[in-house]
Structure 1
Amino acid sequence: MRDVVGRVLSADPDGLRIERRDGDLAFVPAGTVLAMRVVPDRPVRTRPATAVSPEDLTRITSRGWPAVESAPLGDWELRASDGFTGRANSAAVHGDSGVEDPFGAVIDFYTTRGLRPLVQLVEDSPWHRRFVAAGWTGVVDQPPGAIVQVADLRSAPEPDPEAVVRDHATDAWLALYGRVRDPAAARAVMEGPATVGFVSIGDVAIGRVVVTGEWAGLAAVEVNPAHRRRGLARRIVETSLAWAVAHGADKAYLQTMRDNAPALALYEPYGFTTHHAYRYLTPG
């Protein structure tokens, strides 16, 4: 016998679908359940957001931006989503691939789907160096990677009274998020998690927040250029953090470019600090 502790997402005659603290999902067949009980509210944790390893944080961020198709390659995750964003169309490299030729396995997975082979690697990690040595190079036609920042959510800011949080991306929301070429593919990725909110203030400012386990992920904070420098981005972020805490998160992450000074200045007051950087590589 063993315990499975987490938030019950669904329960039916077949069994229970449970989300663990790190956002990992477990299915417990009904016939194996011997006992259930409600766990009391958790005490304040002492483990800070910065204590998680880059590899584990990569897994956590993948759960918050899930690919339409996901296949394991040992510990790696091969992700494909009709080309919508690098995160959902690259191999997340962490741990052991479990195969003799991981380079060829990645190439085969993506070429059979009509996609460019792409890997997401923690910068300066052993696997980063191995891919570079094998001739893989940085991409030039999309962001080459990003930094991942984290923060502890010790208290929640007040949500903005004019902000609306929906469980789906409206057409107006997608129109303001400039990376959408195929709305169906974008919705399949961004609406995939069980606990996700699409924040908007009118049709001029948006953001996305997702909660998987104890972690919240912030993304897609955009403001119409004609309405910038009015504090709208800050109001989106504060509403997102308040929503995340209300849905059980006590840590948060986000991903942005290293040289995006306005974004770094926006998130700094909420305690976000750089955890690690990652790079995208493709066969040379």
Structure 2
Amino acid sequence: LQGRHEQATDHYQRALKLAPTIGHRGAELDALAGLGQIHSLQGRYEQATDHLERALRLADTTVHHPSELQALTSLGVVHRAQGRYEQATVYLLQALHLARATGYLTGEQNALAGLGMVYSAQGQYEQATDYYQQSLRLARASGHPSGELQALVGLADLHLMQGRYPQATDDYQRVLDLAHQIGHLNWQYEAWQGLGRLQQITGNPEAALAHHHEALVFATDLGQPGDQARAHDGIAHAHLALHRPEQARAHWKQALDILTRLGVDHAEEITVAAVRHHLANLGDGE
């Protein structure tokens, strides 16, 4: 939760080795689900899927609903990140039904937010808004600040995409303040990235450049390459608006290199096709 993925990975791996030796299947399931989530955050989708599917197979013989819900939700996120929206929806609905059947509010909140992400990615904004609002109400009622941040970022992105800039500004600023307060680096990244996109759209490229540079620092510290690509894309757009084509080209090349290395055609709001188009317009044959 603090973005220290290397340390988290080390502890999960040690737990994963130890748990089978003492027959602790719940801890083994925890470790597999946790490692899957970290691989997903760092763009290693094949490894993430492997760990998460192992977790689900183990869940068939182990009654440990929190980790089973984490695995289901994380698989939904992995499939969404790769544009497999139908599969993502199946996993997230399974998670939602299990969470409601077992009364696990955090699991329900995470599944709702995940469904919001899937519908938002498909341009189905009304459904996405409904899921995010349900998630936000649940997170606040259960005192879950990380869940509140997740829902607020989703709603801020929806406001941005639909041109409701004052509402987007308020939500991103709320995310930045709360994430800083609880020390959650990933949501600080999302707030800076969102504010950068907002400033770019509203004609303030200097401010956009500053915000995207802040986002890049967080993405680099977190070791999240997909988010680094997103920040580079934002920086490139700002440089281009400031009539600095060479700097724009350099950052779009970095974004393209990252996405190519990850083997994905998009990372949230940016796509390989769009980056290639920008480079072509700058006279680059990439």
TM, length-normalised to structure 2: 0.32
Kindly indicate which of the two structures has a greater share of residues assigned to strand: 1
